[in-house]
Structure 1
Amino acid sequence: MEADIASQSVGLGSSVDFSLWSLFLRADIIVKSVIVLLIAASIYTWAIIIEKFKLFKKINLSTQEFEEKFWKSRSAESFYNNLPANIDDPMSNVFKKTMQVVLKSRSRSNLNEKLSGLLESNIENEVNKLEKNYSFLATVGSTAPFIGLFGTVWGIMNSFQSIAVSRNTSLAIVAPGIAEALFATALGLLAAIPAVVAYNKFNNDSKKYSQRLENFAKRFISTI
């Protein structure tokens, strides 16, 4: 009798498909929702990573080119007049917006204070653009493991219910539910780890670029 039960359990276990798609299809609506949410978060995270990587590579090159041309120019006003209208670079935007106000201003009193305020405001606006979606990366990095853990706990609870209903503690009964639960945990880590690494890297890149803008602002004020 025991041999028959064991052979049936082995047969059941060997017939169970443990592919990722089969695990998803067998999961209940709660675990499926967790899996879909984590996959969507992971896809959007990688989209942000690719976009930010391209952005910082682009602006580092364009800013270097801008600085080289600016410090070789005869004056800030002549450089501003010859600046292309369609240029898209944070440092160029800071310079353009500041010069627009300076040239329109008739009063030259307290020019250093006005320039400092303008540059600080314009730098803050450009840095905020660079830091767009950072909060999403931080949120995914901190919450995805717990969302995956919730799916894991829910899947294990379903496995225990299967044991109670079937009154069979064989591995063939609990293995599918446990596999679904661990799948949710793996997805949570898969979404969280790249998000945390990307947030730390791009946050550091933003700080370096912000310092670069501030250094330019100081030199620009002294030149004016």
Structure 2
Amino acid sequence: METEISTQAVGLASSADFSLINLFLKADIIVKSVIVLLILCSIYSWAVIFEKLKLFKKINNSSDQFEEKFWKSKSAETFYNNLPQNISDPMALIFKESMQGIMKSKSKTNINEKLSNILEAGIEKQTSKIEKGFTFLATVGSTAPFIGLFGTVWGIMNSFQSIAISRNTSLAIVAPGIAEALFATALGLLAAIPAVVAYNKFNNDLRLYNQKLESFSKRFISII
């Protein structure tokens, strides 16, 4: 009798559809909500990652080109007058704002201190623009595993409820619920790992770019 029950249980378990779509469709509303939330977080994280990869490549190239042209120019004022109106490079914008601040200043005393303050404020402004989206990556990286774990716990609770209702501990009864639970855990890790790696990389990229801006600022102050 026990052999017959075991054979039936194995047959049911092997015939069950454990595809990702089927696991999602069979999950209850809580587990479904967790899965949808994690998928959305993962999609948006990748959108931020690709956007920041393109951004850092763009600003590093444009800043190198700007700096090369600047140091070849005859004077800072001549270079400023020849700047195009629609510049978007952070280093160029910092230079433009600092030159505007110097020209608007009525007093020429303490010019180094004023210029230093303008440059510092400009660097902070450009840094804030660049690091938009970093907080989201950090949030996903730190919370997604726990959101997935919540879905896991909920799925296992459902499995135990199924056992209690059916009074059957066969694999066919518990396997679907456990599979749903593990699916939520996997999605949590899938969302978190790229977000954490990207956040650390972009933080380092921003630190290096800030060093480039600060180096330019110090050299610019020295010639003014």
TM-score, length of structure 1 as denominator length: 0.98
Task: Provide the residue aligned with 1:152 in structure 2.
Answer: 152
Cα drift, residue 105 of structure 1: 1.7
The Cα offsets for residues 22-81 of structure 1, whole Å up to 9 and x where unpaired, read as 000010000000000000000000000000000000001000000000001011000000
Task: Provide the residue aligned with 1:216 in structure 2.
Answer: 216
Task: Provide the residue aligned with 2:137 in structure 1.
Answer: 137
Counterpart residue type for residue 117 of structure 1: N
Distance in 2 separating the partners of 1:49 and 1:197: 10
Task: Provide the residue aligned with 1:185 in structure 2.
Answer: 185
Distance in 2 separating the partners of 1:190 and 1:140: 10
Cα drift, residue 4 of structure 1: 2.9
Distance in 2 separating the partners of 1:54 and 1:114: 34
Bigger mean CA deviation after superposition, 2-11 or 151-160? 2-11
Task: Provide the residue aligned with 2:122 in structure 1.
Answer: 122
2:59 is the alignment partner of 1:59: yes
1:90-105 paired onto structure 2 within 5 Å: 90-105=90-105
Distance in 2 separating the partners of 1:3 and 1:216: 79
Task: Provide the residue aligned with 1:197 in structure 2.
Answer: 197
Cα drift, residue 87 of structure 1: 1.5
Task: Provide the residue aligned with 2:21 in structure 1.
Answer: 21
Cα drift, residue 128 of structure 1: 0.6
Distance in 1 separating the partners of 2:25 and 2:167: 24
2:59 is the alignment partner of 1:69: no
Percentage of identical aligned residues: 75
Distance in 2 separating the partners of 1:137 and 1:177: 30
The Cα offsets for residues 107-126 of structure 1, whole Å up to 9 and x where unpaired, read as 11110010011000011000
Distance in 1 separating the partners of 2:127 and 2:10: 60
Cα drift, residue 185 of structure 1: 0.3
Cα RMSD (Å): 0.8
Counterpart residue type for residue 78 of structure 1: T
Distance in 1 separating the partners of 2:132 and 2:10: 53
Cα drift, residue 86 of structure 1: 1.1
Cα drift, residue 3 of structure 1: 3.1
Deviating runs (4+, > 3 A) in structure 1? none
The Cα offsets for residues 119-167 of structure 1, whole Å up to 9 and x where unpaired, read as 0001100011111011111100000000000000000000001111111
How many pairs does the alignment contain? 224
Task: Provide the residue aligned with 1:34 in structure 2.
Answer: 34
Distance in 1 separating the partners of 2:152 and 2:163: 17
Cα drift, residue 89 of structure 1: 0.3
Counterpart residue type for residue 160 of structure 2: F
TM-score, length of structure 2 as denominator length: 0.98
